[in-house]
Structure 1
Amino acid sequence: MPISVLIVDDSSFFRVRIRGLINSHPQLNVIGEATNGREAVEKAVKLKPDVITMDYEMPMMDGISAVREIMTKQPTPILMFSSLTQAGARVTLDALDAGAVDYLPKSYENVAGGPTALKKALCEKIIAIAGQAKPRAMAAATAPAPAPAAPRKGQKRYPQRFDLVMLGTSTGGPVALQKILTQIPANFPAPILMIQHMPGSFTGAFADRLNRQCKITVREAADGDTLRPGEALLAPGGKQMMLAGKGRIRVFDGDERLNYKPSVDVTFGSAVKYYGKNILAVVLTGMGADGREGARLIKQTEGVVWAQESSTCVIDGMPSAIVKANLADETVPLNEVARRLVDVVTG
């Protein structure tokens, strides 16, 4: 049975083009359209689509308000269309906070002129979030943090100290990273590197948002940065971030043949030479398998790798790739990642 899709956009041009791209895929079927946020809520409740594509700027009710109301009345995986600007980044991050699962750049040129790449990305994302995005995972991601508690009996302990924590993620990552980092205390004794699949125009805005929300310092990484305890660096979108020495960051354009910029594998793998067994890497929610080969290198030097527990992921592709390759020392629910990090890294 085809995956049913509701398109929400006030532009008739976009609705026609997006409908054509979606309906050209044998696994997808557009079952309705809405021209404003209010109509989107009504049709989401009435039609119960498997996935909704959502614009932001619309009359009567904007996209973020519509996302919030849909997630209350008829929880549905929502894919936002976003402009690749700083303002677009802020809007997209607000939409993800409200419950949207993922986003795609919105460009008249891409839709009108060369739709092949857009069709591939659009259809792949719709299929992925329809098959795996779970309302319970989305609810878990935005639920209040659990109260601090003593380590539970049977939780794994590690003999080494951890001098570097790395977090790799993709779809669902912005909410997951926010959930984790806002629970990390200011005196956290290790530096943190974050690799999130995200456009270059988004990562600066995302780092700024996290910095305002967190007790630790969070910023977008720059070439030549040094690692400091209690500071988290976010890999810039569209570039690669790697360790160029103990505590020293290199940011560069990277090979165009790599699927992801930034790539979790690149950052994970580069840290092994300098930190060896003193690495704690966590692979969080996301499509694909980026991070698996980097995690394999970490395990070969006796570092530690965790995978986010599947039922708390928006998309469990990346963590599942770690688990299936027998690389995970632990699978940790999202709500427990920060607490486990503090417990294990601070000793």
Structure 2
Amino acid sequence: MIRVLVVEDSKTVQKALVAALEADPELRVVAVADSGEEAVQAAATLRPDLITMDINLPGMDGFQATRAIMSNSPTPIVVVTGKLDPRDSDTLFRVMQAGALMVLAKPAPLGSPNHAESVARLIHHLKLMSEIKVVRRSFPEAANLAALPEARLAVPGRVDQVRVVGIGASTGGPPLLQRILSSLPQDYNAAVLLVQHMAEGFTENFVAWLQHTSRLPISLARDGMPVEAGQVLVAPDGYHLEMAPGNRVILSSAPPENGLRPSVAALFRSLARHCGRQSAGVLLTGMGSDGAKELKLLRQAGGITIAQNRESSVVFGMPGEAIRLDAASYILPPEGIIELLTRLAAAAPDLSSRS
């Protein structure tokens, strides 16, 4: 039995959410909270297995409540919210930066055609997130993690020239990606292609949030776009992002891989096929195994391959599987990944000089 604390100030939505969750025999709602203050107290006293968190709450909002809970009573937290305006992206992803594992849409209203499907999708993800072991978080006075000084470390082994860096991430990825991308220099001499598993409808907000702190231009990829040094292209909802001949990307509606579209697998496989030694692949925190086998393909093609280490991963599924397959030539914490990517770009040739 998974014990759930529901945090939601709307009585109508609260009632519907509780009914949807308790219809599943493996879930039991142990309490509801109308405010952030109530949520913090309930998390400390009831010790639920999972918390669904709304963002817009009276008094202490969802961001503050998440920080407080992760500081004092660490619990898997999933943000469950309605459709957001892009202007709300900063608030949304600050909650994830504070320790929330995932962002999911509220179920469609009872009686609507996709109600059952949306409830099933929500319950499926909540069950998965309840299994994640979270740790106590400490938060520096500076709210922006990207501003933290990075530890310098020597990265062993060879450093080849690269022109394209592919990055794949899932659960726990957004704040880490913000930290990595905001640390790359303005004159970064390689392109970055990025796949982040995310609930449909939130990717545009994610890109807008990353743009706040990055010195590099970040945009959603469009089919046929040229791949240019110093730019970051993010896979849009519902399409695989792949490298193609002629320094361009293609968006593919091919079937999902590992149940996912976009998939990291499609990105890494295309890099192995078209870029080889002039590419690097980075597999970050995430549940499952998406991209692990394809990272090995990239390594076999001569590319530089990196997996996040266990200690810094929110979920060690994807990088852990890559390590098990001997797909990663480097196993590094975030500061090591940043340093290696910076060194690779410093050595990289200009994309315009290559066909």
Normalization by structure 1: what TM-score?
A: 0.87
Normalization by structure 2: what TM-score?
A: 0.85
Structure 2 gap ranges (5+) = 348-355
The structure whose residues are more often helix, as a share, is: 1
In the other structure, the counterpart of 1:228 is 228
SS of residue paired to 2:201: helix
In the other structure, the counterpart of 2:64 is 65
String of CA shifts for 1:274-294, please: whole Å, max 9, x gaps: 201222101111122111232
> Per the alignment, do residues 227 and 114 of structure 1 end up closer, same or farther by CA in structure 2, a change over 3 Å counting?
closer
Using the alignment, how far apart are the partners of 1:85 and 1:257 within structure 2? 28
User: C-alpha displacement at 1:117, in angstroms?
Assistant: 3.7
String of CA shifts for 1:111-134, please: whole Å, max 9, x gaps: 976555445433443343333242
> Per the alignment, do residues 105 and 217 of structure 1 end up closer, same or farther by CA in structure 2, a change over 3 Å counting?
same
Using the alignment, how far apart are the partners of 2:137 and 2:229 within structure 1? 31
> Per the alignment, do residues 254 and 92 of structure 1 end up closer, same or farther by CA in structure 2, a change over 3 Å counting?
farther
Checking the alignment, whether the CA contact within 8 Å between 1:79 and 1:103 is kept in structure 2 is: yes
In the other structure, the counterpart of 1:53 is 52
SS of residue paired to 1:132: coil
* 2:267 counterpart of 1:267: yes
String of CA shifts for 1:228-280, please: whole Å, max 9, x gaps: 21211111122221122132011243336772221111111122222012221
Using the alignment, how far apart are the partners of 1:137 and 1:228 within structure 2? 37
Checking the alignment, whether the CA contact within 8 Å between 1:82 and 1:92 is kept in structure 2 is: no
Using the alignment, how far apart are the partners of 1:177 and 1:267 within structure 2? 17
String of CA shifts for 1:136-165, please: whole Å, max 9, x gaps: 57879958634353x42xx33225321211
In the other structure, the counterpart of 2:161 is 161
Checking the alignment, whether the CA contact within 8 Å between 1:89 and 1:205 is kept in structure 2 is: yes
String of CA shifts for 1:180-235, please: whole Å, max 9, x gaps: 11111112221111111124532223223222311222222112211121211111
Equivalences for residues 105-116 of structure 1 within 5 A: 105-109=105-109, 114=114, 116=116
In the other structure, the counterpart of 2:288 is 288
Using the alignment, how far apart are the partners of 1:135 and 1:185 within structure 2? 31
Pairwise CA RMSD: 2.8
In the other structure, the counterpart of 2:148 is 145
Using the alignment, how far apart are the partners of 2:203 and 2:293 within structure 1? 24
- Letter paired with 2:206: F
Checking the alignment, whether the CA contact within 8 Å between 1:137 and 1:312 is kept in structure 2 is: no
Using the alignment, how far apart are the partners of 2:138 and 2:10 within structure 1? 29
- Letter paired with 2:17: I
Checking the alignment, whether the CA contact within 8 Å between 2:76 and 2:132 is kept in structure 1 is: no
- Letter paired with 2:101: V
Corresponding pairs, count:
343
Using the alignment, how far apart are the partners of 1:242 and 1:261 within structure 2? 12
> Percent of pairs identical after alignment?
29
Using the alignment, how far apart are the partners of 1:124 and 1:331 within structure 2? 31
> Per the alignment, do residues 126 and 138 of structure 1 end up closer, same or farther by CA in structure 2, a change over 3 Å counting?
farther
> Per the alignment, do residues 267 and 59 of structure 1 end up closer, same or farther by CA in structure 2, a change over 3 Å counting?
same
Using the alignment, how far apart are the partners of 1:137 and 1:71 within structure 2? 5
In the other structure, the counterpart of 2:79 is 80
- Letter paired with 1:145: L
* Greater mean deviation of Cα atoms: 289-298 or 160-169: 289-298
Checking the alignment, whether the CA contact within 8 Å between 2:169 and 2:285 is kept in structure 1 is: yes
Structure 1 gap ranges (5+) = none
